[in-house]
């Protein structure tokens, strides 16, 4: 097998050089190649606790023993009870049943705790409209005798039920809950996910799936970005042209929006609507040009970026319109907060409108930022009348802004700190943009209150949390899951768990587990990649493409945006290309890093690590002919046709490096430079995608000693 691989590598490299010694004993290698990954498994005792919790609880104590998941296991509610709690218990038990195949009872019964095996004790309903101060804490006690979940509110019980579901383990023959004692409460009360449904519409069923995912990882705010230049997505009965002319027919009816709010509330999730103003408002003006600061005509934008159309802040009619519109929306969205956007107003139309310029002079407004601050104050008055709190992106933070306005920082941590210093509540989104395609580890490292913060305790308290942001320029209902999940779960942990929970390797270990669990909720972040590959290839036989896809990821948002502008990409462009199929931060990216780091600790002794890596590199070499064959017969896949050959070359680089490292032999002078050239050539993005495995491969090559080089450098 190894010989064949080496020969393949030789041909690929057009060389006749072979490593000077067998990489490992042939029998061992063959075993690795045929038996799959040779990664060592721990020899845990049968019922030992494995921490697969995400987010990690604030306090966890592992106990002795376990409780089997047995048929008939029934929840007894012994204190407060209502339909919302019953429904939450029912859903949790349905999931337990589905995931274990054990016929537990899904309906809760009322009773006294007595010797019941599973008791839920809740003190009260919680807030009638869940607010930012809702008590989400819970205590969960699992012993070999039973389960006791206690919470002050129904929402707290929901959080505890999610933890309980994540506790389920099996020993190969039966499912059980390990004995633990958990006391948990979130670090931050505002843990959100912003969904941009304007640039690409997200169907109601998908939003519900996303809400289920949010609940699973204890996110508690759906920030619903409902209007932007590319589409107005919320039905208004008072102003029907908003969607008739501004949505291309893709919008949420009021009944659907109410359904989403209800669905979210049932899962302990608030819905904060955002109607972005005064900029990002092209779609409003198609039907209502009188709102605008320029003459028009206006159209729904089908490109991306910042556009000139902006509301006219000088006319009383603008505020009358907004008063009626907001008055209608508050009947649909009960949350205390109402998001007015406020970002990226370029002020062009204000500067070019003589009437607006005259208004600014009369009112002593120096510059467009001051005029926007005037607009914000007038909108704030309307929101206050409707008993709403205003929140906006950090552009709304201008001198004199009333303290009651909350700030969502997207342009950097500084504005959040400044807001807190000036008395505003705020949340962090800078660093949490999922569309940037960063790895989970990058988001995980972003802390709403960094260790270096010089804020006072009172100011820190004003930082309520953060929100992951899913902007949908290049995302639609089909691809959105892999753009959100599982990376949003890492952000969820950052916002829920104590600051001290920050082991990246352990986060990834748990994230992989959570990703599989999230798919059981109907999300498709793993399976959609494969479905897309099947679609592009026109066959079920896509194994070689999967090997390739596992090593690749989309380029960053910036690179895609640059391409999009250059090639005049519109909102109508299909999102069914190689880049859309690939997952950001594919699991192999981090796993490979860990494998290489572990192996490099002792390359001459670590046979298991060597075998695992050999197996991986062999799969890269072996994938080439099949992947190329499939790409030849698919115009969509042909975009990436350079990649299978490159991957095979990378596999050969890896195999050769292992040969030297495992034997301790030196490579001929110049070998490294050649390998690094192969890696450098593979770095160039193709079809908006890039390899996600190059850095560890470079590390392996760098670790090889060359003839004539000093071994103690």
Does residue 404 come out as left (phi exceeding 0), alpha (psi in the -120 to 50 range) or beta? alpha
- Min. distance of Cβ 468 from ligand ACM in angstroms? 13
Q: Mask 663-692, x = binds ligand ACM (CB under 6 A)? A: ------------------------------
- Min. distance of Cβ 307 from ligand ACM in angstroms? 12
Intra-chain end-to-end CA distance of the chain, in Å:
35
For residue 393, what are the β-bridge partners?
A: 408
In the annotation, is 344 catalytic? yes
Q: Are 423 and 462 in contact (CB under 8 A)?
A: yes
Q: Between 244 and 436, whose beta carbon lies closer to ligand ACM?
A: 436
Contact call for residue 413 and ligand ACM (CB under 6 A): no
- Min. distance of Cβ 579 from ligand ACM in angstroms? 21
> Cβ neighbours of residue 314 under 8 Å, at least 6 residues apart?
355, 356, 359
Any idea which residue has 């306005």 for tokens?
A: 405
CA-based angle 121:63:161, to the nearest 5? 35
- Min. distance of Cβ 118 from ligand ACM in angstroms? 44
Q: Are 653 and 681 in contact (CB under 8 A)?
A: no
Q: Enter the DSSP assignment of 706.
A: B
Q: Between 57 and 279, whose beta carbon lies closer to ligand ACM?
A: 279
Q: Are 619 and 547 in contact (CB under 8 A)?
A: yes
Q: Are 244 and 259 in contact (CB under 8 A)?
A: no
Q: Give the span between the Cα atoms of 208 and 273, in whole angstroms.
A: 16
Q: Smallest Cα–Cα separation from 442: which of 553, 546, 582?
A: 553
Instruction: Determine the residue with CB nearest ligand ACM.
Output: 343
Q: Between 410 and 474, whose beta carbon lies closer to ligand ACM?
A: 410
What is the four-CA torsion angle of 504, 509, 513, 514, rounded to 10 degrees? 0
Interface residue with ligand ACM, options 410, 485, 508, 671 (CB under 6 A): 410
Q: Between 328 and 343, whose beta carbon lies closer to ligand ACM?
A: 343
- Min. distance of Cβ 433 from ligand ACM in angstroms? 7
Residue 308 burial (CB count, 10 A): 17
Q: Given the residues 183, 250, 259, 344, select the one marked as catalytic.
A: 344
- Min. distance of Cβ 59 from ligand ACM in angstroms? 36
For residue 150, what are the β-bridge partners?
A: 121, 139
Q: Give how many residues touch ligand ACM by CB under 6 A.
A: 4
Q: Mask 378-397, x = binds ligand ACM (CB under 6 A)? A: ---------------x----
Q: Mask 482-521, x = binds ligand ACM (CB under 6 A)? A: ----------------------------------------
Q: Between 359 and 393, whose beta carbon lies closer to ligand ACM?
A: 393
Q: Are 280 and 340 in contact (CB under 8 A)?
A: no
Q: Give the span between the Cα atoms of 627 and 550, in whole angstroms.
A: 13
Q: Give the span between the Cα atoms of 82 and 390, in whole angstroms.
A: 32
Using CB under 6 A, which residues numbered 300 to 359 contact ligand ACM?
Answer: 343-344
Phi, psi of 557 (to 5 degrees): -55, -45
- Min. distance of Cβ 562 from ligand ACM in angstroms? 17
- Min. distance of Cβ 398 from ligand ACM in angstroms? 16
Q: Between 391 and 596, whose beta carbon lies closer to ligand ACM?
A: 391
What is the four-CA torsion angle of 565, 568, 572, 576, rounded to 10 degrees? -70
For residue 667, what are the β-bridge partners?
A: 706
| 650's tokens | 């990378």
Helix (H, G, I), strand (E, B) or coil at 122: strand
Q: Between 194 and 627, whose beta carbon lies closer to ligand ACM?
A: 194
Residue 612, classified by CB atoms within 10 Å of its CB into exposed (0-12), middle (13-18) or buried (19+), is buried
Q: Between 24 and 277, whose beta carbon lies closer to ligand ACM?
A: 277
Residues that bind ligand ACM (CB under 6 A): 343-344, 393, 410
Mind telling me the catalytic residues?
344
């Amino acid at each position: 097998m190894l010989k064949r691989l080496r020969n393949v590598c030789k041909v690929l490299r057009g060389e006749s050089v072979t490593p000077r010694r067998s990489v490992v004993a042939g029998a061992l290698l063959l075993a690795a190649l045929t038996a799959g990954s040779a990664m060592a498994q721990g020899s845990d005792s049968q019922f030992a606790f494995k921490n697969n919790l995400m987010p990690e609880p604030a306090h966890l104590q592992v106990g002795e023993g376990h409780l089997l998941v047995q048929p008939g296991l029934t929840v007894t509610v012994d204190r407060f009870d209502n339909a919302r709690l019953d429904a939450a218990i029912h859903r949790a038990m349905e999931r337990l049943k589905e995931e274990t195949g054990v016929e537990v009872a899904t309906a809760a019964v009322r009773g006294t705790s007595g010797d019941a095996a599973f008791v839920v004790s809740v003190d009260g309903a919680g807030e009638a409209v869940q607010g930012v101060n809702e008590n989400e804490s819970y205590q969960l006690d699992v012993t070999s005798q039973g389960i006791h979940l206690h919470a002050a509110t129904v929402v707290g019980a929901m959080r505890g039920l999610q933890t309980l579901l994540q506790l389920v383990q099996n020993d190969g023959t039966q499912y059980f809950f390990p004995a633990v004692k958990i006391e948990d409460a979130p670090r931050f009360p505002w843990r959100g996910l912003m969904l941009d449904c304007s640039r690409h519409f997200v169907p109601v069923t998908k939003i519900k799936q996303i809400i289920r995912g949010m609940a699973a990882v204890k996110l508690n705010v759906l920030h619903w970005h409902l209007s932007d230049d590319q589409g107005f997505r919320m039905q208004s009965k008072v102003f029907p042209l908003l969607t008739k002319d501004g949505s291309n027919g893709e919008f949420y009816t009021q009944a659907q929006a109410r359904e989403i709010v209800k669905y979210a509330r049932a899962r302990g999730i608030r819905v904060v609507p955002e109607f972005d103003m005064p900029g990002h408002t092209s779609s409003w003006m198609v039907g209502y040009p009188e709102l605008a600061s320029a003459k028009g005509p206006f159209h729904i934008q089908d490109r991306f970026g910042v556009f000139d159309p902006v509301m006219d802040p000088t006319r009383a009619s603008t505020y009358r319109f907004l008063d009626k519109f907001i008055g209608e929306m508050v009947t649909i969205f009960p949350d205390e907060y109402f998001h007015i956007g406020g970002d990226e107003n370029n002020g062009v139309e204000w500067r070019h409108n003589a009437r607006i310029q005259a208004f600014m002079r009369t009112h002593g407004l120096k510059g467009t930022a001051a005029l926007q601050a005037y607009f914000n104050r007038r909108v704030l008055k309307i929101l206050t009348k409707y008993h709403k709190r205003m929140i906006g992106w950090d552009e709304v933070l201008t001198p004199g802004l009333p303290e009651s306005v909350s700030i969502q920082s997207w342009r950097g941590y500084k504005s959040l700190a400044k807001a807190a210093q000036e008395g505003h509540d705020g949340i962090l989104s800078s660093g949490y943009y999922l569309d940037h395609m960063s790895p989970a580890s990058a988001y995980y490292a972003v802390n709403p209150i960094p260790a270096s913060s010089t804020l006072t305790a009172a100011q820190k308290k004003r930082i309520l949390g953060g929100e992951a942001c899913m902007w949908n320029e290049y995302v639609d209902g089909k691809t959105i899951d892999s753009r959100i999940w599982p990376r949003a779960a890492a952000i969820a942990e950052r916002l829920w768990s104590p600051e001290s929970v920050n082991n990246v390797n352990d986060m990834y270990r748990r994230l992989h587990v959570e990703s599989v669990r999230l798919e059981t909720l109907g999300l498709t972040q793993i399976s959609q990649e494969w479905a897309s590959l099947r679609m592009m290839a026109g066959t079920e036989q896509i194994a070689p493409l999967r090997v390739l896809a596992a090593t690749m990821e989309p380029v960053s948002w910036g690179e895609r945006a640059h391409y999009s502008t250059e090639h005049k990409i519109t909102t109508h462009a299909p999102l069914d290309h190689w880049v859309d199929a690939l997952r950001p931060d594919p699991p192999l990216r981090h796993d490979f890093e860990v494998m290489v780091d572990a192996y490099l600790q002792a390359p001459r002794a670590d046979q298991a690590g060597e075998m695992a890596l050999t197996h991986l590199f062999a799969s890269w070499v072996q994938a080439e002919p099949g992947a190329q064959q499939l790409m030849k017969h698919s115009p969509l896949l042909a975009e990436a046709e350079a990649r299978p050959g490159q991957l095979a070359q990378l596999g050969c680089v890896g195999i050769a490096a292992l040969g030297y490292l495992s034997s301790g032999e030196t490579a001929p002078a110049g070998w490294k430079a050649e390998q690094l050239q192969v890696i450098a050539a593979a770095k160039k993005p193709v079809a908006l995608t890039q390899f996600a495995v190059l850095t560890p491969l470079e590390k392996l090559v760098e670790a090889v000693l060359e003839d004539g080089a000093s071994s103690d450098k």
